[in-house]
Amino acid sequence: MSAIPESIIALIAALARLPGVGPRSAERIALHLVQTDSAIVKQLADTILLAREKIQFCTICGALTEKSPCPICDDLRRDSALVCVVERAVDILSVEKSGTFRGKFHVLGGKISPLDGVEPEDLRIAELETRLSNETIKEIIIALGTDVEGDATSNYLAKRLARSGLKISRIGFGLPAGSGLEFADELTLSRALEGRRDMS
């Protein structure tokens, strides 16, 4: 018999499955929650449920949104000839914060990584090809991290997406080596965008 009630053990196990929450943190959060006013706990649970119910993927770019197409895809003032390819939906926020990009986005949903079992067909590359056929895209800016997988994915994309009249470039200048967009400050990211290198 455990000294800890079964419902608390179940809560700890559920919390520990969340990204970035280790067993110790899970235990701390669980013990905090079971001693908190139930109205506050219910509000937290409702907020989680509501967010999950409202959020969907934009059918065009793959961003997280409450309404598809998302506000960026829907924005007529943005340059639809320019598409910035990012790994994850949150990377859109990093590029937006740099304040210099006025084009559209495309979320890949990961990077090619055979060791982790991520193949090109697991990413939203076919969706990007559909956009290339349906939209008048003149330049693809690849904004992936500067690690090995980022390099491999960028090279793969440059080859697979190559077609006449399409410029493919990659940001890189000044980005910390081996890292993702979330570690770059706004100035570095806007310089990296301006100093993108042609891959086509």
Nearest approach in angstroms of CB 105 to Zn ion is 7
Task: Tell me whether residue 58 or residue 144 sits nearer to Zn ion (CB atom).
Answer: 58
Nearest approach in angstroms of CB 70 to Zn ion is 3
Strand partners of residue 167: 139
Task: Tell me whether residue 63 or residue 143 sits nearer to Zn ion (CB atom).
Answer: 63
Task: Tell me whether residue 8 or residue 72 sits nearer to Zn ion (CB atom).
Answer: 72
Question: Cβ of 94: how many Cβ atoms within 10 Å?
Answer: 19
Nearest approach in angstroms of CB 84 to Zn ion is 12
Alpha-carbon distances, residue 175 vs 171, 180, 193 (angstroms): 8, 8, 10
- With residue 108 as reference, give the H or E element that holds it: none
Task: Tell me whether residue 11 or residue 73 sits nearer to Zn ion (CB atom).
Answer: 73
Q: Cis check for the bond before 69: say yes or no (omega within 30 of 0).
A: yes
Nearest approach in angstroms of CB 147 to Zn ion is 26
List residues binding Zn ion (CB under 5 A). Answer: 58, 60-61, 63, 70, 73
Tally helices (H) and strands (E) across the chain: 8, 7
Nearest approach in angstroms of CB 50 to Zn ion is 21
Q: Are 158 and 130 in contact (CB under 8 A)?
A: no
Nearest of 156, 196, 159 to residue 174 by alpha carbon: 196
Task: Tell me whether residue 30 or residue 73 sits nearer to Zn ion (CB atom).
Answer: 73
